[in-house]
Copies of this chain bind each other. A is one copy, B any other.
């Protein structure tokens, strides 16, 4: 086997050789945080039509065969392939799963489903699960950065880079050597797919993309273990992923500070259940209201100062007709924040047209701000100016939105978020969620990963 030194092989060797002991403590703790955050998101996909259709497919095509891997939304046991597929479908539905800003990639949705499924199937330890997840994050984020902005204009990076991320994670769990890992990358990359065209019709493909990235990557790693060979340079080769699907790929991104830069720790948690472009202003408004002890009725006007991208994506503040539209309405998001102090899934579902929320919504406007726009996308600054009914004016500002690495969620905040997601569609009971918290926070002592739910 020719293992010439090139970016694909360097990255594959890193993933294959990554040891638990090599990973800094804060990165391991963050990996546990991300794992809990993912469990909540996966449970919140319960009942969604597209997710349940994929679960039904898995059941019809062999899922009844039993197995050790757990489908979180149904508590069925099945093979790791189908568990990865269904949990992958469920993970991104509530859009509360994590995001890596630089690669515009949602790692948890495509890394944890195959990792948990294969860990349960082979009886891996908690430390092995964590190590595999870190391998998946480090590989997937770098592949996303490598594929670049031109890729993201047409392709859903979470689907494409996600397939390689899943293969890396499962490959680590299966103990692939560097050569086998490179074959797994080859088989994963040649399956990588996912097009944004579905957005135009608000179609269900996002669930299909995460389901397939998770299960296709697992397939690639499993086959590599069996001796299946793949392209040695699937990422940067002349007929590889970048050649076919990018115009600005940068191979140096694939190996950027491997082992010293931990991309996993750069991943952001989503705090509000709304479009990310609303988060900086929402946090700034929260800060103003908290610092000045304001309530919703005090508000006469809110001017948000934003980047151009926010105006492009969110558009004019109008009356939303659906929950989905409400999540892209800056006015509605700030209205929920003002009335409830949060803009979570339940607040959107129950109150996006609440008269108190609508009253604030209609007082919100957006203005482009030079500082905010210049800093974007490296930094997502939030600025608001609030005028009260009694004529006072307050300026609020956050330099990093809640959930970003410099303003991350505490474990109590993560538990609170996961609890809300777990209860949201009756994915789990409060007691079950508390049991899951214990399981996740004690993962490093776990000798054999078992089921999360009874």
- Chain A interface residues toward B at CB < 8 A: 49-50, 53-54, 56-57, 60-65, 67, 78-82, 153-155, 159, 183, 186-187, 189-201, 203-205, 208-209, 212, 216, 219, 222-223, 226-234, 237-241, 243-245
A195 adjacent to B204 (CB under 8 Å)? no
Copies of this chain, complex-wide, total: 2
A80 adjacent to B57 (CB under 8 Å)? no
A195 adjacent to B80 (CB under 8 Å)? no
B62 adjacent to A231 (CB under 8 Å)? no
A81 interface neighbour in B62, B233, B234, Cβ under 8 Å:
B62
Chain B residues with CB under 8 A of A199: 239
Complex: chain B residue closest to A50, CB-CB: B228
B200 adjacent to A187 (CB under 8 Å)? no
**Alpha-carbon distance between A215 and B201 when the two chains are bound, in angstroms:** 25
Complex: chain B residue closest to A212, CB-CB: B191
CB distance from A262 to the nearest CB of B (A): 29
The 9 closest A-B CB pairs, nearest first, are A62-B62, A197-B231, A61-B81, A196-B239, A154-B244, A65-B65, A203-B229, A193-B193, A197-B240
B190 adjacent to A205 (CB under 8 Å)? yes
B190 adjacent to A190 (CB under 8 Å)? no
A186 interface neighbour in B198, B216, B229, B231, Cβ under 8 Å:
B198
Known: A61-B82, A82-B61, A244-B154. A234 touches B193 (CB 8 A): no
Given contacts A61-B80, A61-B82, A195-B234, 8 further A-B pairs with CB under 8 A are A56-B226, A62-B62, A62-B79, A62-B82, A65-B65, A186-B203, A197-B233, A197-B243
A195 interface neighbour in B63, B212, B223, B244, Cβ under 8 Å:
B244
Chain B residues with CB under 8 A of A54: 223, 228
Chain B residues with CB under 8 A of A79: 60-62
CB distance from A258 to the nearest CB of B (A): 22
Complex: chain B residue closest to A243, CB-CB: B154
Most buried by B among A61, A194, A195, A208: A61
Complex: chain B residue closest to A229, CB-CB: B203
Chain B residues with CB under 8 A of A189: 195, 197
A201 adjacent to B229 (CB under 8 Å)? yes
Complex: chain B residue closest to A64, CB-CB: B65
Complex: chain B residue closest to A69, CB-CB: B61
B53 adjacent to A223 (CB under 8 Å)? yes
**Alpha-carbon distance between A199 and B190 when the two chains are bound, in angstroms:** 12
Complex: chain B residue closest to A80, CB-CB: B61
A65 interface neighbour in B62, B228, B231, B243, Cβ under 8 Å:
B62
CB distance from A80 to the nearest CB of B (A): 7
Complex: chain B residue closest to A211, CB-CB: B219
CB distance from A54 to the nearest CB of B (A): 7
Chain B residues with CB under 8 A of A244: 154-155, 195, 245
Complex: chain B residue closest to A189, CB-CB: B195
A195 adjacent to B203 (CB under 8 Å)? no
